[in-house]
Amino acid sequence: MQVEVQLSASLREFTGGAATVSVEAATIRELLRKLVERFPRMQKRIDEGVAVSINGEIYRDDRNQQIPKGAEVFLLPRIQGG
């Protein structure tokens, strides 16, 4: 399934400035793996921490999360709390 991933500005340096990237992925894990395959420099940033928003719900950890067909997908920096 083709997923249109939208990237926040701070992550676009890894995609040559592209704000949206299209990858074939069914889960968050697959999505991140495919992004690293295309943009190897992104690995370090993903290791440092990112979050994936699927239809407005932010997933920081659950890489098993399924991506529904036609979902809005955002790659965001990982947030911290108090």
Partner 1 sequence: MATDTTFTNQEFKIVGTRPPRPDGVDKVTGRARYGADASAAGQLVGLVLRSPHAHAKIKKIDTSKAEKLKGVKAIITSADLPDLTKGDRGMFDMLENCMARGRALYDGHAVAAVAAIDAETARQALKLIKVDYEVLPHVTDVDEAMTPNAPIVQPHVRTTGIEPKPTKASNVSQKSEFGHGDIEAGFKQADVIVERSYKTEQTHQGYIEPHACLASVGPDGQGELWVTTQGHFTFRNVCAALLGMDIAKLKVTSSEIGGGFGGKTHVWVEPVALALSRKANRPVKLVMTRDEVFRATGPTCSTSIDVKIGATKDGRITAATATLRYQDGAFPSIWGMLGAMTSFACYDLANVKSIGYDVLVNRPKVAAYRAPSAPMAAFAVESTMDLLAAELKMDPIDLRIKNAAKEGTRASYGPTYGPIGIGPTLLAAKNHPHMKAPLGKNQGRGMACGFWFNFGGQTCTDLNIGVDGTVSLTVGTVDVGGSRASLSLMAAEELGIPYDRVKCTIADTASLGHNDTTEGSRGTFSSGMATIFAARNAIQVLKARAAKMWDIDVADVDWKDGRAVALRAEHGNLNELTLSEIAAKSPQTGGPIAGHNETVADGAGVSFATHICDIEVDPETGKTKVLRYTVIQDAGKAIHPDYVEGQFQGAAAQGIGWALNEEYVYGKDGRLQNAGFLDYRIPVCSDLPFIDTQILEIPNPGHPYGVRGVGETSIVPPLAAIANALSNAAGVRMTHIPMSPPRVLKAIKNGRH
Nearer to partner 1, 2 or 56 (CB): 56
Residues that bind partner 1 (CB under 8 A): 6, 8-10, 13, 17, 48, 53, 55-62, 65, 72, 74, 76-77, 79-82
Nearer to partner 1, 36 or 74 (CB): 74
Minimum CB–partner distance for residue 36 and partner 1 (Å): 18
Residues 77, 2: Cα–Cα separation, whole Å: 22
Residues 61, 52: Cα–Cα separation, whole Å: 9
Minimum CB–partner distance for residue 16 and partner 1 (Å): 10
Helix residue spans in the chain (DSSP H): 28-38, 42-48
Closest CA to 30 of 54, 63, 52, 6: 63
